[in-house]
Structure 1
Amino acid sequence: MNEVQYRHAASAAGAPVALSCTGIERVFGGLRALKGVSLDVRQGEILGLVGPNGSGKTTMVNVITGFYPPNAGKVTLFGEDITALKPHRVAARGVARTFQNLALFKGMSVLDNILIGRHTHMKPSALGALFYWWWAEREELAHRRVVEEMIEFMQLQDIRDEPVEVIPLGLQKRVELARALVAEPRLLILDEPMAGMNQEEKEYIARFILDASEARGVTTLIIEHHMDVVTSICDRVVVLSYGEVISEGEPQAAISHPSVVSAYLGERAAKRHQAGSTA
């Protein structure tokens, strides 16, 4: 853990809990996708949620954001029970997310895609439309100022007017992160934000995530398969396997736990790995 990480983790350790998930169960037919999962994310913390494919990570995020109501358990956000809320009501309470597969709007510019992230702050009304030049125009300009600041923060000035589908994948991922951040979330959920990216692109996104956490005080839950990223930016890690928590704690220690190595490599390969590490 580097010095910046250490300071960040130390400050988050004593912070109040932002998100609390207790005993979360989710069943699809005869498949128990989540089996009593409990986890906490503290305010200002970057928590990594990792595990092999099919371990329940995205299902857990979908429960938190209201897409899948849990069959049992409770989700609390800043002290409020949000277990039964619909996705738009969860978003209105300060939760923004990115998706494993890009969810940008083709045919629209980078700027307009980011502007959509302001939708939870927009209050359309017939009265506002009637008196547009006096009322609604001022609100629109205020939203655009926030978007322009985010474009500068994410270093997207050179492509702000480009159609989003023509820019490289790494920049598209950056646009999606900008759209989530422009919502001014209290909790940011990132589902594999670095999938398909090269090393340079991963480093850029990692830096922006850290900057958002440090400069804007954003609490972050991140699903990520790249363990170098997890160990470099996360304060803590929770590891899932077959819908259960099998390890949690400081990143390097959590992912080095024998149960985690076994989940990723298989029991026989894990024993060879352990024998090699102790040789």
Structure 2
Amino acid sequence: MTDAVLECRNVTRRFGGVVALKDVSIAVARGEIFGLVGPNGSGKTTLVNAITGFYPPQQGQILLDGQPINGMKPFRIADRGVARTFQNVALFHGMSVLDNILMGRHIYMKPNPLASLFYPWWAAREETAHRRKVEEVIDLLQLAPARDEYVDVIPLGLQKRVELARALCAEPRLLVLDEPMAGMNQEEKEYMVRFILDAQDALGLTVLIIEHHMDVVTALCDRVLVLNNGQQIAQGPAREAIADPRVIEAYIGKPRDAA
């Protein structure tokens, strides 16, 4: 794919004797929402962790905008424009919604003693610019009513939205969402789908998303990769890939098993 933001070529990752990923390949086009689907333990989060530098692959290659990122530390990959959310909410407790979202700007903040010394003329302008970007994201995700609340006391659906806002404030070239709907009720899922689509439209995002809810996958994703036992079993347009007999078998078993 000539305009791929992300490419994974024959990625393999082992943990001791367990092969978590085997020869997995994807290409995520610019502006696309690409889904990772599969039963629990199929290797979805391992692939995301390989892409973001937490568990680099032992074999294969990962390219971001055509440049290899294999072996880079997670913070270096973040500097390259990859932001992610986590399956289990990873917010800073004891801090407000606003302060958590501001943390998304950390890769652009370059503090130094000289700037602090001349704060009114130097650092204040930088701080205002960061704050302006954060306010745009708060408005986009309709978080203004909760901006001063501590994240410890807001509902899970709102916490997930705050984590999405923090990732968006990093102005990512690739946004990685690890089960953003986990634990949500139907109404919260519908809101989150709308906010992801709004953010993609407003910011021109390329999104890689892990999701178990098939209604969400078909509503959001242009294409999906289906994994099972660390291997890809289907890839293509969302509805077609999910309807593949191998995918159905991976989720519910063969007819005689179901009986």
The TM-score range, normalised by the shorter chain, is: over 0.9
| 125-134 vs 87-96, greater mean Cα deviation | 125-134
Unaligned ranges ≥5, structure 2: none
Q: Superposition pairs for residues 124-203 of structure 1, below 5 Å?
A: 124-203=111-190
> Equivalents in 2 of 1:35, 1:103: separation in Å?
29
Paired amino acid for 2:84: R
Amino acid at match of 1:19: L
Shift of 1:24: 0.4
Kindly report the root-mean-square deviation, in angstroms, between the aligned alpha carbons of the 2 structures.
1.3
What is the CA-CA distance between 1:208 and the residue it aligns to? 1.0
Instruction: Find the residue that maps to 1:99 and give its secondary structure.
Output: coil
Using the TM superposition, give the Cα deviation of residue 126 of structure 1 relative to its aligned residue in structure 2, in angstroms: 2.0
**C-alpha distance after superposition, 1:142-175 (max 9, x if no partner):** 1111111111110011110000111111101000
Give the TM-score of the pair, scaled to structure 1. Answer: 0.90
Q: Which letter does structure 1 place at the counterpart of 2:236? A: G
Calculate the TM-score normalised by the size of structure 2.
0.97
| Residue of structure 2 in register with 1:17 after alignment | 4
1:253 aligns with 2:240: yes
Q: Name segments (4+ residues, structure 1) moved above 4 Å.
A: 269-272
Structure 1's 225 and 207: CA in aligned 2 closer, same or farther, altered over 3 A?
same
Which of 110, 115, 130 is residue 102 of structure 2 equivalent to? 115
Q: Which runs of 5+ in 1 are unaligned?
A: 1-13, 273-279
Aligned match of 2:25 in 32, 38, 45? 38
Q: Deviations over 1:84-117 (max 9, x none)?
A: 2110000001000000000001110000000000
Partners in 1 of 2:172 and 2:43 — Cα distance? Answer: 24
Out of 223, 236, 244, the residue aligned to residue 236 of structure 1 is: 223
Return the structure number with greater helix share. 1
3-state SS, counterpart of residue 89 of structure 2: coil
Secondary structure of the residue that 1:166 maps to in structure 2? coil
Corresponding position of 1:102: 89
2:36 — aligned with what?
49
Q: Contact 1:258 / 1:270 at 8 angstroms: preserved in 2?
A: no
Q: How many residues align?
A: 259
Other structure's SS at 2:13 match? strand
**In 2, Cα distance between the equivalents of 1:270 and 1:250?**
28
SS at match of 2:170: coil
2:251 pairs, out of 260, 264, 270, with 264
1:86 to 53, 64, 73: 73
SS at match of 1:47: strand
- What is the distance in 1 between the residues matched to 2:104 and 2:34? 23
